[in-house]
C-alpha cells in the first residue's frame, strides 16, 4: 500500500460519508438517506491496514471471523480485472459498497435490522457514523484484484 492509495480510500470514504450526513445520497426506496447529525470524518490507521492486508493476501473472498480482525468492520470487493491500478481499485471498491443504497435501498427509518444488513451491509460499514478509522488492503490475486 502506498500513501496515495491510502489517501484515495480516505477521500472516497469521507466524500460519501459527507453526502450521507447531509442527506444527499439517493435511496432506491425513495428520496434520500436520512441525515446524520454526528458523522465523523475517518482517518487512516496502519494497524487496521496490517490486519486487513494479512487476511487479504490469502485471496479468500469471504469475511474472516470478527475475532481475527479485532471486531473491526470489514468490507470486501473483488474484480476479475487482474492487476488493476490500486488507486482505481480503491475508488471502485468504495463506490461499489455505496452503490448498495442505489440498487437495494436502505430503510428510511435508518434502523439497522437484519434485512437492512442484507440489503446494504457494505454501505452501512462505509457510513457508520461512529467509525473514525479505516485501514484497507488491495492485493493482486490469481485472476482478480481483491480489496
Predicted TM-score (pTM) of this structure:
0.94
Mean pLDDT of the chain: 95
How far out from the chain centre does Cα 40 lie? 15
Q: Kindly report the CATH number assigned to the domain that includes residue 39.
A: 3.40.33.10
How many domains is the chain partitioned into structurally? 1
Asked if the model's pLDDT at residue 37 lies above 90, the reply is no
Asked if the model's pLDDT at residue 110 lies above 90, the reply is no
Model confidence band, residue 104 (pLDDT cutoffs 50, 70, 90): very high
Residue 31 burial class via C-beta count within 10 angstroms: exposed 0-12, middle 13-18, buried 19 and up? exposed
Asked if the model's pLDDT at residue 109 lies above 90, the reply is no
Residue range(s) defining the domain that contains residue 7: 3-146
Helix residue ranges per DSSP H, the chain: 3-21, 46-56, 86-98, 100-103, 114-127
Amino acid at each position: 500500500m502506498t500513501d496515495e492509495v491510502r489517501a484515495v480510500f480516505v477521500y472516497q470514504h469521507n466524500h460519501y460519508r459527507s453526502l450521507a450526513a447531509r442527506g444527499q445520497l439517493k435511496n432506491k426506496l425513495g428520496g434520500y438517506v436520512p441525515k446524520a447529525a454526528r458523522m465523523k470524518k475517518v482517518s487512516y490507521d496502519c494497524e487496521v491496514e496490517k490486519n486487513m492486508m494479512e487476511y487479504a493476501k490469502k485471496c479468500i473472498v469471504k469475511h474472516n471471523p470478527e475475532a481475527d480482525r479485532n471486531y473491526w468492520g470489514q468490507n470486501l470487493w473483488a474484480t476479475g480485472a487482474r492487476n488493476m491500478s490500486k488507486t482505481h481499485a480503491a475508488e471502485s471498491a468504495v463506490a461499489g459498497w455505496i452503490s448498495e443504497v442505489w440498487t437495494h435501498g436502505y430503510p428510511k427509518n435508518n434502523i439497522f435490522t437484519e434485512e437492512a444488513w442484507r440489503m446494504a451491509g457494505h454501505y452501512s460499514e462505509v457510513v457508520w457514523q461512529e467509525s473514525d478509522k479505516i485501514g484497507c488492503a488491495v492485493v493482486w490475486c490469481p485472476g482478480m484484484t481483491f480489496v
